[in-house]
């Protein structure tokens, strides 16, 4: 069990979300970002849609382009990433009893100025998504670049909500309960890269 994951779990249990910096090393970030750019240059990304039955592209809601990761990849950067996700899943299963069995991850690019309006990740028709996981691939991200992930958290006294914002720093992992936390991606002044996924029950 990797004790480095403990603060993420503590965060999820206490506040509904957890953050871990340095989930990926600088070399791993560069390798995954390079892979992302290569495959995007090959025309393999698609505009992300909304819904899971009749998926429609709606740029007024989200402007990112995505490519799903192949679980059978032989690319070492992707194998390293998925291996670390496995370790994280094992840790969650041994500490939280969520019964995670499966996962799905995609690369995401938010071209300059694009965003993803406030939403919930869990599809009404697919309740298997338990935890949302986002890992950022942005080198040298500055506060003035924008592109924060905004989370909407209920106030402790249950009156209203508060917004917290998280900068998409390279190597940072954010994790939250998919069915509970509404969130939003704010526009950035430069291209914003990530690997995003869901840890699911069977
Ligand atoms: O990139 C992020 O910070 C969040 C992405 C997101 O909300 C999603 O893909 O559902
Ligand atoms: Fe989301």
Rounded Cα gap, residues 149 and 133, in angstroms: 12
Structural contact between residues 18 and 12, judged by C-beta atoms closer than 8 angstroms: yes
Closest atom, ligand 1, to C-alpha of 192: 1
At residue 5, φ and ψ (nearest 5 deg) are -80, -10
Domain at 69, CATH number: 2.60.120.620
3-state secondary structure of 134: strand
ipTM confidence:
0.99
Query: What tokens appear for 97 in the block?
Result: 């009893």
| pLDDT over 90 (residue 75) | yes
Query: Residue 57: what pLDDT?
Result: 80
Q: Is the residue at 104 inside a domain?
A: yes
**In this structure, is the dihedral angle defined by the CA atoms of residues 23, 29, 35 and 40, taken in order, positive or negative?**
positive
Query: Residue 126: what pLDDT?
Result: 72
| pLDDT over 70 (residue 110) | yes
Query: Residue 70: what pLDDT?
Result: 94
How far, in Å, from the CA of 196 to the mean position of ligand 1?
Answer: 7
Mean pLDDT, rounded, of the chain: 93
Give the residue, out of 18, 119, 149, 172, with the most ligand 1 atoms within 8 A of its beta carbon, to mutate for a pocket test.
149
Q: 149 CB under 6 A from ligand 1?
A: yes
Rounded Cα gap, residues 56 and 179, in angstroms: 21
Closest atom, ligand 1, to C-alpha of 184: 7
The single residue listed with the structure tokens 């949302």 is 132
Q: 77 CB under 6 A from ligand 1?
A: no
Task: Dump the DSSP string for 62-94.
Answer: B--EEEEPPTT---HHHHHHHHHHHHHHHHHHH
Output the residue whose Cα is nearest ligand 1's atom 9.
Answer: 196
Q: Is the residue at 150 inside a domain?
A: yes
- Count of domains in the chain? 1
Q: Is the residue at 2 inside a domain?
A: no
Which of 12-21, 53-62, 75-84, 191-200 comes out lowest in average pLDDT? 53-62
Query: What tokens appear for 94 in the block?
Result: 């041994």
Band (pLDDT 50/70/90 cuts) for residue 190 is very high
How far, in Å, from the CA of 97 to the mean position of ligand 1?
Answer: 25
Q: What is the mean pLDDT of residues 115-124?
A: 87
Q: Is the residue at 127 inside a domain?
A: yes
Q: Is the residue at 86 inside a domain?
A: yes
At residue 40, φ and ψ (nearest 5 deg) are -70, -40
Q: Is the residue at 88 inside a domain?
A: yes
What Å distances lie between residue 150 and 6, 96, 116, 117, CA to CA?
23, 25, 10, 10
Q: What is the mean pLDDT of residues 34-47?
A: 97
What Å distances lie between residue 140 and 19, 84, 133, 144, 190, CA to CA?
18, 23, 21, 11, 11
Q: Is the residue at 10 inside a domain?
A: no
Query: Residue 51: what pLDDT?
Result: 75
The domain of 156 spans 20-49+60-201
Tens of pLDDT, residue by residue over 9-38, are: 999 989 999 999 999 999 999 999 999 999
Angle value at C-alpha 57, between 117 and 101, nearest 5 degrees: 75
Q: 148 CB under 6 A from ligand 1?
A: no
Task: Dump the DSSP string for 139-185.
Answer: TT--GGGB-PEEEEEE-TTSSSEEEEEE---TT-EEEEETTT-EEEE
Tens of pLDDT, residue by residue over 149-158, are: 999 998 878 7
Q: Is the residue at 112 inside a domain?
A: yes
């Amino acid at each position: 069990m990797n004790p480095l994951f403990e603060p993420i779990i503590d965060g999820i249990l206490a506040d509904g979300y957890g953050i871990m910096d340095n989930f990926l090393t600088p070399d791993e970030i560069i390798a995954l970002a390079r892979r992302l750019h290569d495959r995007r240059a090959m025309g393999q990304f698609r505009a992300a849609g909304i819904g899971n039955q009749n998926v429609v592209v709606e740029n007024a809601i989200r402007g990112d382009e995505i490519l799903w990761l192949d679980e059978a990849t032989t690319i070492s950067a992707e194998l390293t990433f998925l291996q670390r996700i496995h370790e994280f899943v094992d840790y969650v299963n041994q500490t939280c009893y969520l019964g995670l069995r499966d996962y799905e991850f995609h690369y995401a690019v938010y071209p300059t100025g694009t965003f993803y309006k406030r939403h919930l990740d869990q599809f009404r028709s697919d309740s298997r998504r338990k935890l949302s996981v986002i890992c950022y691939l942005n080198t040298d991200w500055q506060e003035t670049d924008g592109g924060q992930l905004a989370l909407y958290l209920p106030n402790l006294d249950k009156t209203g909500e508060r917004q917290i914002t998280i900068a998409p720093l390279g190597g940072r992992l954010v994790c939250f309960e998919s069915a509970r936390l509404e969130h939003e991606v704010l526009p950035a002044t430069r291209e914003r890269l990530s690997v995003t996924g869901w840890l699911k029950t069977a």
